[in-house]
């Protein structure tokens, strides 16, 4: 049985990130980071504001391709005729690795686990930057599972 699925990414994903992180002045950001670093080690911080967003090698189309080639629609979800969206978030570390993968919006346990499995397989990203330095950033990824009509 051929099962189709769609991964919603590209501009939609960027829109989610921008919606969560409204633009602020660099001086305001620097002040917020300075205040935040009083009680925290900079190496452990995960930023939500960025100067340069983390990028998948090859861009959004390569990201879509990777997800589409590796994501498998779980049999249990097919039997339950379960369709919908799993929204994950994960940290792209300052070295480009993927860490702290978590579900923001669940669909079905096997779909959730499949989306997590594929995200954990992602190759290294080009790290995001803040003040010209690579930093760790949260990245939001919606994955849509659709059965063929």
Q: Which CATH number characterizes residue 63's domain?
A: 3.30.2420.10
d(CA 91, CA 68): 21
What is the reported pTM? 0.68
Average pLDDT over residues 53-70: 93
Structural domains of the chain, count: 1
Of the pLDDT bands very low, low, confident and very high (cuts 50, 70, 90), residue 47 is low
17 belongs to a structural domain: yes
Domain hosting 100: range is: 10-22+47-145
Select from 85, 100, 103 the least CA-distant residue to 137: 100
* Chain-centroid distance, C-alpha 98: 9
What is the rounded CA–CA span in Å between residue 93 and residue 31? 22
- Give a yes or no: residue 5 inside a domain: no
Which residue, 5, 144, 147, is CA-closest to 84?
144
Q: Is 2 a domain residue?
A: no
pLDDT tens for each residue of 66-118:
999 999 999 999 999 999 999 999 999 999 999 999 999 999 999 999 999 99
Specify which residues 61 forms β-bridges with: none
Q: What is the CA radius of gyration of the chain?
A: 17
In a domain, 133, yes or no: yes
**Residue-by-residue DSSP string for 112-140:** HHHHHHHHHHPPPPBPEEETTEEE-EEEE
Residues found in the chain? 149
């Amino acid at each position: 049985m051929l099962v189709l699925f769609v991964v919603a990414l590209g501009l939609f994903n960027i829109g989610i990130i921008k919606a969560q992180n409204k633009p602020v002045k660099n001086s305001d950001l620097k002040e917020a980071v300075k205040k935040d670093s009083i009680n925290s080690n900079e190496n452990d911080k995960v930023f939500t504001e960025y100067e340069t967003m983390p990028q998948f090698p090859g861009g959004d189309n390569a990201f879509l391709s990777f997800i589409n080639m590796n994501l498998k629609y779980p049999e249990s979800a097919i039997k339950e005729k379960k369709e919908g969206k799993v929204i994950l978030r994960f940290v792209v570390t300052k070295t480009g690795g993927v860490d702290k993968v978590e579900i923001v919006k669940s669909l079905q346990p096997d779909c959730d686990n499949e989306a997590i499995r594929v995200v954990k397989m992602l190759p290294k990203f080009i790290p995001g930057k803040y003040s010209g330095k690579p930093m760790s950033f949260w990245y939001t990824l919606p994955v849509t599972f659709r059965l063929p009509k």
